[in-house]
Amino acid sequence: MGSSPSQIYRASVLSKLDITETLADAPGMADSRVTQDDLNPGARAYSQTTTPPAKYYYAREMTLAGSGLSSEELDLAALPSLQGDFDATGLKLQVLRLQGEAGNDAITFGGGDDDPYEPLGAGVAIELPAGWVGPLQCEFNDASPEVTSAGSGVNASTLKIAGTGGDTIKVEMIFG
């Protein structure tokens, strides 16, 4: 008997910039440094009961195979978790985080060749330029489409990561 996939109890997503600048001309100030963090949102909390919800977490560091152009497809109906695979069918992608490595060539993240899941819209992909390290984070706030499966009339269940063999990318996703 297979084990049930692990489910999210609580997730906290934080994206933050803290900038400290030294002012060139600061008469009368004891310290000419100023910290700016006015646009930082607070941490966003997710669980199975929040809106938007969070049920499953996927994280993987992947290295594209081969030596030339290469790609890998992720089947959203069979993603590994800490305790077995989970099926994201009927769920929406809530959070996506991508992180590359300095030596990478350009990497594209988008819908798969067969049954493309397109959280950014039809035909829209993210191209990460060569050398990009990130992280790039997207929070969809329940606005992405549902993952669908065969027999639904609209199959949308695969994502594709394309680049050059040997390039490495970290992919994190929260579905709910």
168 vs 63: CA distance, rounded Å: 4
Does residue 59 sit within a domain? yes
Does residue 3 sit within a domain? no
Does residue 12 sit within a domain? no
pLDDT score for 152: 61
With contact defined as beta carbons under 8 Å apart, do 58 and 7 qualify?
A: no
The per-residue pLDDT for range 104-113, each reduced to its tens digit, is 999 999 999 9
Does residue 162 sit within a domain? yes
DSSP designation for 147? B
pTM for the full predicted model: 0.84
Could you tell me the residue range of the domain that residue 116 belongs to? 48-175
DSSP designation for 15? -
Does residue 124 sit within a domain? yes
Does residue 10 sit within a domain? no
Exposure string for 132-145, b = 16+ CB within 10 A, e = fewer: beeeeebbbeeebe
- Give the CATH number, domain containing residue 165: 2.60.120
pLDDT beneath 50: ranges in the chain: 1
pLDDT score for 1: 43
pLDDT score for 75: 93
Give which of 63, 66, 155, 139 is closest to 104, Cα–Cα: 63
Does residue 21 sit within a domain? no
Local structure of 22: helix, strand or coil = strand
pLDDT score for 6: 81
Give which of 136, 137, 135 is closest to 44, Cα–Cα: 137
Q: How many domains does the chain have?
A: 1
DSSP designation for 145? P
3-state secondary structure 83-122: CEEECCECCEEEEEEEECCCCCCCEEEEECCCCECCCCCC
DSSP designation for 158? E
pLDDT score for 16: 73
Question: Which tokens belong to 107?
Answer: 């990497």
Place of tokens 């949102």: 41
